[in-house]
Structures are given as C-alpha cells and as structure tokens.
Amino acid sequence: MEITREIHMQQKTARRLILFPLPLQGHITPMLQLASILYTKGFSITIIHTQFNPPNPSNYPHFTFHSIPDGLLESEANTSDVIRLLTLMNVNCITPFRDCLAKLLADVSKDPVACLITDAMWHFTQSVAEILKIPRIVLRTSSVCSFLAFVALPHLLEKNLSIQEEPVQELPPLKVKDLPMITTRNSEDLYQLLSLAVKETRASSGFIWNSFEDLEPLALTTCTQKLTIPTFPIGPFHKYFPASSSSLLTQDQSSISWLNTQAPKSVIYVSFGSIAALNEAQFLEIAWGLANSNQPFLWVVRPGLVRGSEWLEPLPNGFLENLNGRGHIVKWAPQEKVLAHHATGGFWTHNGWNSTLESICEGVPMICQPFFGDQMVNARYVSHVWKVGVHLENKIERMEIARAIRRLMVEADGKEKEMRERIEHLKEKVDDCLSQGGSSYQSLENLTSYLLSF
C-alpha cells in the first residue's frame, strides 16, 4: 500500500510527535518506519536519540533530531550483554532525556506536541512523561506472541522449569527451551528489565505493534485483555514504503549483482541479524554445511559475528574460491531487497522479528536458527503455528545443515511444497491487511484519530 503525499496534505494536522527509539538495529528500524508512516499522516516528527548507535539524520530530511548523552563508558557501548546495556541506559538517560523533552515541550515556535512514542524497553520514560504531563504511547518492536512470553516469564522462572522438551502449559505451543531467555551477567537485571517494561507499558496510553491481525489473532486478543490499553496492530511497517534507509551498517550492493547471476529461487540467504554471535566451531560448521549443501548461498558475516575474530579469518584458506562462485559473503546486505529478489528461495534466519516479518512479506520460507530472547518464540511460531519454516533444533552441525538446505531448496517434497504455499498465502494476507478497509489500514486510521485526541 502507498500512503500518498495527497492524503498527507488533506490531513495536515499541525501536531508534533516525539519519538525515542532504542539504539539497536532491530528497534531503530521499526521506530523510524513508524515515524515515516505517521509523517505521511500529517504529523511533524522529532526524534530524540542516544549518542550510542545514532540514526543518520540525512536519510530523514523532514524530521528534527536531538542527541542526548547516554553516559556509557567505551567498554559498555556494545551489545555483548544487551540486558546490561539496556539496564545501564535506562538509568543513565533519565536526566538528559527529561531535560531534552522539557525543552522541546516548552518550544512554542513549533507545532504543539500530541504525545511521546517510545520503545517498550525504555521503561523509565513513563514516569518522565507523567511528570511532564504528556501522554506516552509504547511501540513494541517484537511479535505479540513473544511479548506474551516475556509477560509470563518472571512467573515461569519461579516455577524452576528444567526439562527443556516439556511443553509450557501457559504458552502453547512453546516448550521450556523456547522461553525467551537472554544470557546476562546478572539474571536479576533481566527479571527487572522485563518486569518494568511490562509494568510501564500497562501504565501507558496505548500500544503499537509491528504485526497484523491475521498473523497473530489470538495473541492480540489476549494482549488486549491483559493490558486493557488501546492497541494498534498496524504492521508490517516496512511495506508502507520502498526499502528503508535506517541501516547502521553499510549495505553491500554486490549482494544484488551476485543474485542477478543466479537461477530463480535457487539461493539460500543466510543472516543472523545484528546481535547474535557464534563461536569459531559453530561458524565452521555453518561454512561446511553451506558448502556441502551444493546450493548457491548469500551469507551475511557481520564483523563481530564470530567471537574473537575480526571477520572471515577462521575460514580455511581458499574456502570461497573452491566453491567456484557458488557462495557470496558480505558484511551486511540490503536484506529487504535480497528477500524480494527472484533468485532467493529460502532464508536461514535467527528469527529476529524484523527478519521474520520481512521473510513472510516476500513469501520466502525459512530455516529457523534462533539464538536468544524473542527469537526462540518466533522460531516456534514460524515452524509450528504458521508452518512456513523448518526449525533446526539441535546443535549446529554441518550434515544436518546441508540436509535441511537441500530439503527446503531442492527436494521440496509434500511438506516443503505446502510450506511454500502457506507463506504465499500469508503474503497475500499482508497485502489485504494494508489495503483500504484491511485490519492494519483501519488500525492506522484509529491510531491517527487517537493521537489527534490528545
């Protein structure tokens, strides 16, 4: 769907929204996409951002950007322990954020502010909003089903569940091993962060989801019942626009020129997102699994993906050369374009929510390789609820990898064929929900009216 400038002009509302993204790729992207969607609805947009992982203002000439200090030491400004990072920032940013917001609210030369929109993980912003008497709306950038698992997690942890293959009664079809755990040096930090994020979301004025009704109908109903605040599932955000430009890393366009040389639906695209890390042994199993599959592959090896290595040093000498052009490795790809490319036939993914949605929107079936947190839940839903992917549940092992790739890409028996049909069907549902009268379209209309009511 395209929201035209014409609609924007018709609905020019002269109200300003202040948005505060969490400075991680998988969170910045949807928040800036949301900002662009709301801009087309006539709102003017101000972004407050941290010094850590700042967005590039030149990609958004219509927005106003304000940077605040995040107080992170050089040794703290990285994603090796995300929970620690978020815990620190939720403390360090209180004063600079409050001062910045107070100044923006006092600026009478600009359009009056309708409300503040922040990532759910910025829990401290709820009390700042209350002090400054401005409504706060929450954007949750993950799936609704994984949010419900996060809500249940503190209670489940008290039950001391230890049998990994056991089903979690409260959250079907999740097993204990799918619970959205995140390794951190102090497990109390995880518990605190999640509890506060949920508590302050409950206290907020509304909830925006980068998801859509037809994908998560039950989870959305449960969530609305549990939180009793207005809920707006308006996703998938990235389908409102051509491929987005909020990438923190430079996207290597050779991905596309290489894909142009490959046969339709022949390439397995491999990427594990912006945070997940591997040890050297796992990395080598993946490399040999790809090589042994005999299928063409496009592999994103982000600098830092392999712990203790700069980039590709662990690969045996001549690894790529020996594949005679069957493999292409980049540091970062233009992922949306890669998934939309006719040569891409499968996505071996960590199931971050953005990647999962992007794959669904392009009708590309997945091989699921979740690492932590919400990825575990998304992977279970992809393989067992939407049934549009296969789950690699065991240790990363080259023979199993090669088999999974060949089954998905080449042998495609009844099960795989059905998977492709199902994801094509979901892709059609995406088009339906975004077109006039569709559920996300209507939800965006409701959100616009709601924002104007403040």
Q: Min. distance of Cβ 25 from ligand UDX in angstroms?
A: 4
Strands 231-233 and 206-209: parallel
- C-alpha–C-alpha distance, residues 403 and 297, integer Å: 14
Count, residues in the chain: 454
Tell me the closest approach of the beta carbon of residue 449 to ligand UDX, in angstroms: 29
Least distance in angstroms from the C-beta of 172 to ligand UDX: 21
Q: What is the dihedral of CA 156, 157, 158, 163, to 10 degrees?
A: 80
Q: Does 96 bind ligand UDX (CB under 6 A)?
A: no
Smaller CB separation from ligand UDX, 28 or 401: 28
Nearer to ligand UDX, 361 or 444 (CB): 361
Give least dist CB 368 to ligand UDX, A: 12
C-alpha–C-alpha distance, residues 51 and 120, integer Å: 19
336 near ligand UDX, judged by CB under 6 A: yes
User: In terms of CB distance, is 15 or 380 closer to ligand UDX?
Assistant: 380
Based on CB atoms, which residue is closest to ligand UDX, 235 or 273?
273
Please list every residue from 291 through 320 that binds ligand UDX, using CB under 6 A: 300
Asked if residue 8 lies in contact with residue 16, where contact means CB atoms within 8 angstroms, the answer is no
Question: Between 21 and 289, whose beta carbon lies closer to ligand UDX?
Answer: 21
Binding of ligand UDX by 29 (CB under 6 A): yes
Asked whether position 119 contacts ligand UDX by CB under 6 A, the answer is: no
Distance in Å, CB of 329 to ligand UDX, minimum: 11
Q: 17: helix, coil or strand?
A: strand
Categorise residue 209: left if φ over 0, alpha if ψ from -120 to 50, beta otherwise: beta
**Between 141 and 448, CB nearer to ligand UDX:** 141
25 in contact with ligand UDX (CB under 6 A):
yes
CB of 253 to ligand UDX, least distance (A): 12
Sign of CA dihedral 229, 87, 275, 333: positive
- Asked if 97 is part of the footprint of ligand UDX (rule: CB under 6 A), the reply reads no
Q: Any idea what DSSP says for residue 338?
A: H
**Consecutive H or E run containing 40:** helix 25-40
In the set 17, 19, 24, 451, which binds ligand UDX (CB under 6 A)?
24
Q: Hunting for tokens 């045996």 — which residue is that?
A: 316
* 26 counts as binding ligand UDX under rule CB under 6 A: yes
Per CB under 6 A, which of residues 340..399 are in contact with ligand UDX?
A: 352-355, 358, 373-375
Element (H, E) at 376: helix 374-380
Q: What is the C-alpha to C-alpha distance for residues 150 and 152, in angstroms, rounded to an integer?
A: 5
Q: Coil, helix or strand for 348?
A: strand
Residue 53 or residue 440: which is nearer to ligand UDX going by CB? Answer: 53
Q: Select 283 or 332, whichever has its Cβ closest to ligand UDX.
A: 332
- Closer by beta carbon to ligand UDX, 253 or else 322: 253
Q: Is 87 in the site for ligand UDX (CB under 6 A)?
A: no
Q: How many residues bind ligand UDX (CB under 6 A)?
A: 26
Helices within 203-278 (DSSP H only): 217-227, 254-259
Q: Which of residues 267-286 bind ligand UDX (CB under 6 A)?
A: 271, 273-275
Cα R_g (the chain), whole angstroms: 22
Q: Is 36 in the site for ligand UDX (CB under 6 A)?
A: no
DSSP state of 112: P
Say what angle helices 187-202 and 144-158 make with each other, to 10 degrees: 130
* Angle of helix 353-361 versus helix 25-40 axis, rounded to 10: 60
CB of 325 within 8 A of CB of 266?
A: no
Helix (H) or strand (E) holding 328: strand 327-330
Choice from 333, 377, 379, 402 touching ligand UDX (CB under 6 A) = 333
Q: Does 88 bind ligand UDX (CB under 6 A)?
A: no
Positions 38 through 67 that interact with ligand UDX (CB under 6 A): none
Per DSSP, the three-state class of 368 is: strand
| Minimum CB distance to ligand UDX smaller for 23 or for 135 | 23
Site string for ligand UDX, 240-259 (x = CB under 6 A): -------x---x--------
Q: What is the residue type of 267?
A: V
List contacts with ligand UDX (CB under 6 A).
Answer: 24-27, 29, 141-142, 247, 251, 271, 273-275, 300, 332-333, 335-336, 352-355, 358, 373-375
